[in-house]
Amino acid sequence: MTERADAARGRRETRDVSDPDPYEVLRVEEEPDHLRPRALYAIGENGNLWHVTFVCPCGCAESISLNLLPDDSPRWTLHEQPEGPTLELANRRVP
Ligand SMILES: [Zn+2]
């Protein structure tokens, strides 16, 4: 959708790849009933994160939950960076 907005405004010489509106990371102990868009809910207790839940970015309004616990598979890692959070899928373990 940003492509379309850019086209409407005319072509830009350079492209800023940083997200002007990064997702916000919210640490909570329980998943809220209603998820805000553009927010990652990092769910856990006492500094341990269990999973991360967020509204699907495709627009379908489904919620997505990804495991952060190291002993479960597939396991994701949440990285918080100034330019916004990223989620990384760990390599699958070979049995
Ligand atoms: Zn979706």
List average pLDDT for each run of 10 residues in the chain, which is 95 residues long.
56 62 93 94 94 95 95 92 92 62
Question: Which pLDDT score, from 0 to 100, does residue 21 have?
Answer: 80
Q: Which two tokens stand for residue 30?
A: 């329980």
Residue 43 and residue 27: Cα distance in Å, rounded?
Answer: 6
CA of 63 to the centre of ligand 1 (A): 8
Instruction: Tokens 């916000």: give the residue.
Output: 24
CA of 40 to the centre of ligand 1 (A): 15
Decide if 76 contacts 89 (C-beta within 8 A).
yes
DSSP conformation class of 86: E
Question: Which pLDDT score, from 0 to 100, does residue 17 have?
Answer: 64
Instruction: Tokens 């409407």: give the residue.
Output: 8
CA of 64 to the centre of ligand 1 (A): 9
DSSP conformation class of 21: S
Helix (H) or strand (E) holding 6: helix 2-9
CA of 13 to the centre of ligand 1 (A): 32
Question: Which pLDDT score, from 0 to 100, does residue 22 have?
Answer: 85
Question: Which pLDDT score, from 0 to 100, does residue 13 have?
Answer: 58
Question: Which pLDDT score, from 0 to 100, does residue 94 have?
Answer: 58
CA of 36 to the centre of ligand 1 (A): 15
